[in-house]
């Protein structure tokens, strides 16, 4: 029992250390607001969860943001999300470049940044985000708020706001069913197509044609079974084609054709070989009679 408790304690400590190792360690977070000449207007060294209460920036100011990540794993993305505190809720994402040493930074010139900063004087919330593929929990830090003054000249024009509303209902019209030919006419032409075959069988009966291959097959049961299998597989293939034309989809047709084709190939090869053997035997018999 004591060993079991020790094992559980070790497992718990190992899992706790894994959770701690999988959290982001961000330090030395600095936020500097500088004038165009480089003079610092405000400087804040931030530590979670402290947030900047209020920053006021002119259009020509530069916001400098830097930090350091102490994890062995480097982040896939590190950025600050600016969200306007008005009805539009515009989001502006500014990505930071992170070096192999873990130090990251960006310089944001409001005059050259996203046009959304130039839609007028607005207040923005600043959220610092760090994420990577090997650490599940992202780092999120609310840095505070900043008010950016709109430009006095050449302000950006906000696009017209889209208003979504229900559109008129679309009524799709299908083509009417194709008219089929009259059943009597179709039956008449079917009879006309079958008439030559009836005439053929009638003439064969009058001429007294003997089906020697059929007689030879009946004398050998295995040859007869093979021939029936071969012609049956051919009839099955024709039936599959008919079914595909009328109601069956493609994939069942391919499966059936795959099976029937193998059966037709094997049985047909044997039937043709048997026919060739009988032909050679008849030729040899005729040659002996002539001699």
What contacts 52, CB < 8 A, 6 or more positions away?
31, 44, 46, 126, 143, 144, 145, 146
In a domain, 270, yes or no: yes
Does residue 265 sit within a domain? Answer: yes
Whole-angstrom Cα distance, residue 237 to residue 241? 6
| Cβ-contact 63, 110 below 8 angstroms | yes
Same domain, 138 and 217: no
Per-residue pLDDT tens, the chain, 291 aa: give them. Answer: 444 444 444 454 444 444 445 688 899 999 999 998 888 899 999 988 899 988 999 988 999 999 999 888 888 899 999 999 988 889 999 999 999 889 999 999 998 889 888 888 999 999 999 998 888 788 999 999 999 998 877 777 777 777 788 889 988 888 888 887 888 898 899 899 889 888 888 887 887 766 555 566 666 778 888 888 999 999 999 999 999 988 899 999 999 999 999 999 999 999 888 878 878 877 877 666 666
The reported pLDDT for the residue numbered 127 is: 95
Q: Is 4 among the domain residues?
A: no
Contacts of 169 (CB under 8 A, 6+ apart): none
Residue 92 domain boundaries? 24-148
pTM beyond 0.95: no
Domain count, the chain: 2
- Residue 64 has a pLDDT of 94
Among the candidates 148, 177, 192, a domain finishes at: 148
CATH number at residue 96: 2.70.50
The answer as to whether 221 is a domain residue is yes
Residue 156 located in a structural domain: no
246 within a domain of the structure (yes/no)? yes
Domain boundary residue among 127, 148, 169? 148
């Amino acid at each position: 029992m004591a060993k079991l408790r020790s094992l559980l304690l070790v497992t718990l400590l190992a899992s706790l250390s894994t959770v701690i190792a999988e959290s982001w360690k961000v330090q030395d977070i600095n936020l500097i607001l500088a004038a165009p000449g480089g003079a610092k207007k405000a400087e804040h060294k931030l530590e979670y969860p402290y947030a900047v209460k209020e920053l006021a920036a002119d259009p020509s100011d530069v916001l400098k943001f830097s930090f350091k990540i102490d994890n062995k794993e480097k982040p896939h993305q590190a950025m600050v999300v600016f969200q306007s505190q008005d009805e539009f809720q515009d989001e502006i994402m500014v990505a930071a470049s992170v070096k192999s040493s873990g130090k990251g930074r960006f310089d944001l010139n409001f005059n050259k940044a996203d046009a959304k900063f130039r839609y007028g004087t607005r207040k923005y919330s600043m959220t610092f985000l760090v994420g990577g593929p090997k650490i599940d929990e992202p780092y999120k830090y609310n840095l505070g708020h900043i008010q950016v003054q709109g430009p006095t000249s050449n302000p950006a024009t906000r696009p017209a706001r889209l208003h979504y509303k229900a559109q008129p209902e679309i009524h799709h019209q299908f083509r009417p069913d194709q008219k089929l030919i009259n059943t009597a006419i179709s039956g008449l032409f079917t009879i006309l197509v079958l008439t030559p075959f009836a005439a053929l069988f009638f003439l064969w009966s009058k001429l007294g044609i003997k089906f020697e291959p059929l007689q030879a097959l009946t004398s050998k049961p295995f040859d007869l079974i093979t021939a029936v299998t071969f012609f049956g597989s051919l009839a099955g293939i024709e039936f599959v084609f008919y079914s595909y034309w009328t109601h069956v989809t493609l994939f069942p047709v391919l499966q059936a054709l795959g099976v029937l084709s193998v059966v037709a190939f094997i049985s047909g090869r044997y039937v043709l070989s048997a026919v060739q053997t009988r032909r050679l035997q008849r030729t040899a018999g005729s040659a002996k009679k002539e001699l």
